[in-house]
Structure 1
Amino acid sequence: MVEYTGWRKSTRSSDSGQTNCVECRQTWRKSTRSDSDADPNCVEARNTDAGFQVRDSKLGHDSPVFDLSASDFTGLLRVADRS
């Protein structure tokens, strides 16, 4: 698990002491099957350089964040589609 703040450094920024860097906040995407009125049991996901991260949307920043490889995330989506 990782911290919820998803800042991402520009790929053009190196570790060579360059101070002119740009960081972008990674945004969470809520499941398209989630309806704020009907179903509070939702997940949010975002992509990372290493794959994907998933968290419980109703917990927000207090939710644990799970790191998944691309294949694990695809498997999760496949299983969730059967439910």
Structure 2
Amino acid sequence: MNMYVGNLNYRVKEGDLEQAMSAYGVVTSVKVIKDRETGKSKGFAFVEMEDDQDAAKAINELNGSEFMGRQLVIKEALPKRM
């Protein structure tokens, strides 16, 4: 399952997120979205986990929790609309 993780502290690195999410299962990818011009984080990321049940557990337990000083928003990522 691919998840949207929002309201991130701008200092969060991909490794920080991978470590936090791996407590719930196997993380297959983490991508912190960055501004093209400045290279700075935009404050959100996409995390993909191998098992949908593990991802659902991570969403339920981490959504609204504090991570590096910010309250996380985590939900299933929806396909991009064209």
Larger-Rg structure: 1
Please confirm whether the aligned pair reaches a TM-score higher than 0.5, indicating the same fold.
no
- Name the structure where strand makes up a greater proportion of residues: 2
Q: What TM-score does the superposition give when structure 2 sets the normalisation length?
A: 0.34
Q: What TM-score does the superposition give when structure 1 sets the normalisation length?
A: 0.33
Greater relative contact order (CA < 8 Å, ≥ 6 in sequence): 2
